[in-house]
Structure 1
Amino acid sequence: MDTLKISATANGLNYLPEYVAAEGGLFAARGLTVTAKACDPWTGVLDDIESREADLALGGLWVPAMYAGSSRALSVVGQLNHKFPMTIVSRTETAPISPDQLAGKVVLAPGAGGSAPYEFTAGLIREAGFDVSATRFVRDLSTAMLIELYKSGLGDAIILDLVSAKELVADGFGTIVFEHLDAGVMPNSVYYAVSERIDELSDRVDRFMDGIAAAMVKITSGTADAEIEAVLASRWPDKDASLLRAAADEMAERGVWDSAVIDRDASDRWMRILDEGGLVTHPATLEELLGSSSTVTA
């Protein structure tokens, strides 16, 4: 049995296919023992793959994009999220909105775990032809802190992951008025490695990503109920099980786990948004992001 070590930026419901693959023996069936940990702060994933404590990092595609062309060479080897499962919860609005309707509002945008919630939202505003500066964003603080402040009265709306948003609504603090899932394909969470290790890891990575793809099929086809229930109970024992399952079912039904293959047009769009936001030196092509990896094509 070969070993593959994963260092992740979080313990998130959007990572469900990896957890289901482990729970259901899909990695073991491919001759792999997969170990994983979540880093706090999330930037520890970079240290882990550099020191070889981990073989792969799991996190946002924006990270390899920011390092593209730098001395830290990173190569993407697979995709875990085909769409971006974030939402906007409003304190006062009850009907669905478009991003341009955030003008004149104060919007809380958690960023301690990464820049994507704000940057993708800002990108959608620019795509619609509106001025991002018309909205006042409160950024760079943790999700827990901004939820607490929102409940205390700060801000008109807050950008949240699907689980946190459903919890906030259930507690009576607003309505989900926008879902980023409606904004089309967006390669969100991906696996990446130090580029110089790609050849060494290629066989294990191929089997690993095959297991991820198989787990996606099980989840989206409705044949992974036992594995999903076991994962939810073990990873989030203190959360409302029905709410967790509702969020997982929505992600499955709405395309978050439709493919382990990065969509070229969606990648180019995300790179353009990051470039417009000033986060990258240039909008990296998919070939640059994949580097010497041959396990993903578009």
Structure 2
Amino acid sequence: MDTLKISATANGLNYLPEYVADQGGLFAERGLAVSAVARDPWTGVVDDIESREADLALGGLWVPAMYAGTPRKLSVVGQLNHMFPMTIVARNETSPISLDWLAGKVVLAPGAGGSAPYEFTAGLIREAGFDVSKTRFVRDLSTAMLIELYQGGLGDAIILDLVSAEELVAAGGGTIVFRHLQSGGVMPNSVYYCVSERVDELGDRIERFMDGIAAAMTKITSHEADAEIEAVLAARWPDKDKALLRRAVDEMAEGGVWDSAVVDRDASDRWMTILFDGGLTTHTPSLEELLGARAAVDA
């Protein structure tokens, strides 16, 4: 049995296919013993793959994008999220909004776990032809802190993952008025990446690992993984409302989050443009550049 070590930016419900693949023996069927750890702070994933404490990092595509063209060489080897499963909860609005509604508002955008909640939302605002500067964003703080501040009266709206949003709504904190799954288009949110110099060394294990991920995605989206999902939810989130978690899983499955383990070229190019326009990258990396040493293998 070969080993593969994952360093993840979170213990996230959107990472479900990895957990299901492990729970259901899909990695073991492919001769892999996979171990994973969630890092806090999440930036530890970069240190882990550099030190070889881990083989692969799991996190946002924006991280390899930001490092593109720098001395740190990272290669994307597969995709875990094909869409961006976030929402906007509004304090006083109850009807679905278009993004021009955000003008003149104070919007809380958690950022301690990464930049995507703000950056992708800001990119959608620019794509729609609206002015991002007309919205005052509160950024760079943790989800837990911003939820507490929102409940204390700060802000008109808050950007949240599906589970946190549903919990906030259930607590009387407002209404989900925008769903990125419905209005955001394809977005390669979470990916696996490694130090580029290790691609050849890890190649066979990566192939088997990503095949297991793809198989788990198929099981989830075809409703053949119910037992594995229930076991994962009970083990990883024992204190959460199981019905709420299951609704979030169903919404992500139906919304396309787990439709593909392969990064979509057009979606990657679009995300790179959003990041460049936001000032996070020195250029707009092509998919080939993001794949790096992996590009030849995929070709």
Is TM-score (shorter-chain normalized) higher than 0.5?
yes
Deviations along 1:45-74, whole A, 9 cap, x unmatched?
000000000000000000000000100000
Deviations along 1:71-101, whole A, 9 cap, x unmatched?
0000000000000000000001101011121
Alignment of structure 1 residues 10-89 onto 2, 5 Å = 10-89=10-89
Aligned equivalent of 1:115: 115
CA distance in 2, matches of 1:167, 1:24: 28
What secondary structure is seen at the aligned counterpart in 2 of 1:196?
helix
Does residue 236 of structure 2 align to residue 231 of structure 1?
no
What secondary structure is seen at the aligned counterpart in 2 of 1:262?
coil
Does residue 196 of structure 2 align to residue 189 of structure 1?
no
Confirm or deny: 8 A CA contact 1:39 1:45 kept in the other structure: yes
Post-superposition shift, 1:188?
0.1
Aligned equivalent of 1:283: 284
Post-superposition shift, 1:200?
0.2
Aligned equivalent of 1:159: 159
Does residue 149 of structure 2 align to residue 149 of structure 1?
yes
Post-superposition shift, 1:295?
8.4
Unmatched tracts of structure 1, length 5 or more: none
Relative to 1, partners in 2 of residues 1:296 and 1:115: Cα closer, same or farther, differing over 3 Å? farther
What secondary structure is seen at the aligned counterpart in 1 of 2:164?
helix
Query: Which amino acid counterpart does residue 205 of structure 1 have in structure 2?
Result: I
Deviations along 1:112-143, whole A, 9 cap, x unmatched?
00000000000000001111000000000000
Confirm or deny: 8 A CA contact 1:202 1:295 kept in the other structure: no
Relative to 1, partners in 2 of residues 1:28 and 1:51: Cα closer, same or farther, differing over 3 Å? same
Confirm or deny: 8 A CA contact 2:75 2:194 kept in the other structure: yes
What secondary structure is seen at the aligned counterpart in 1 of 2:47?
helix
Confirm or deny: 8 A CA contact 2:95 2:177 kept in the other structure: yes
CA-atom RMSD, angstroms? 1.0
Task: After the TM superposition, list the runs of 4 or more consecutive aligned residues in structure 1 that deviate by more than 6 angstroms.
Answer: none
TM-score scaled by length of structure 1: 0.99
Does residue 202 of structure 2 align to residue 205 of structure 1?
no
Aligned equivalent of 2:105: 105
Confirm or deny: 8 A CA contact 1:77 1:296 kept in the other structure: no
Deviations along 1:203-246, whole A, 9 cap, x unmatched?
00000000000000000000000000000000000000000000
CA distance in 1, matches of 2:99, 2:81: 22
What secondary structure is seen at the aligned counterpart in 2 of 1:178?
strand
Confirm or deny: 8 A CA contact 1:262 1:296 kept in the other structure: no
What secondary structure is seen at the aligned counterpart in 1 of 2:129?
coil
Query: Which amino acid counterpart does residue 125 of structure 2 have in structure 1?
Result: I
CA distance in 2, matches of 1:158, 1:120: 14
Aligned equivalent of 1:251: 252
Identity of aligned residues (%): 82
CA distance in 2, matches of 1:72, 1:211: 28
CA distance in 2, matches of 1:216, 1:130: 36
Confirm or deny: 8 A CA contact 1:68 1:288 kept in the other structure: yes
Unmatched tracts of structure 2, length 5 or more: none
CA distance in 1, matches of 2:23, 2:290: 30
Confirm or deny: 8 A CA contact 1:77 1:295 kept in the other structure: no
Relative to 1, partners in 2 of residues 1:296 and 1:163: Cα closer, same or farther, differing over 3 Å? farther
What secondary structure is seen at the aligned counterpart in 2 of 1:27?
helix
CA distance in 1, matches of 2:155, 2:93: 13
What secondary structure is seen at the aligned counterpart in 2 of 1:155?
coil
Post-superposition shift, 1:296?
7.7
TM-score scaled by length of structure 2: 0.98
Aligned equivalent of 1:172: 172
Query: Which amino acid counterpart does residue 292 of structure 1 have in structure 2?
Result: A
Confirm or deny: 8 A CA contact 1:80 1:257 kept in the other structure: yes
